[in-house]
Amino acid sequence: MTSLVVLIPVALGLGILGLAAFFWSLTSDQYDDLDGAAARILEADDIISPSSQS
């Protein structure tokens, strides 16, 4: 029972910390361009063609 005295405040503190990190990421525009990031991985700008390797 005494371990709950420690574990409950620790769990609440970690929850509040995670919620604060989530709200910080929302306010610092971390989720602005999800479609652009998904499309950038498909671009072939950094692929070396076989004819230019020699």
pLDDT in tens, 2-48: 899 999 999 999 999 999 999 999 999 887 777 777 777 777 665 66
The residue count for the chain? 54
Torsion angle, CA of 24/26/27/32, rounded to 10 degrees?
A: 140
* Encoded tokens for 1: 């029972």
**Alpha carbons 30 and 22: distance in angstroms, whole number:** 10
- Whether 37 and 30 have beta carbons less than 8 Å apart is answered as no
> pTM score > 0.85 for this model?
no
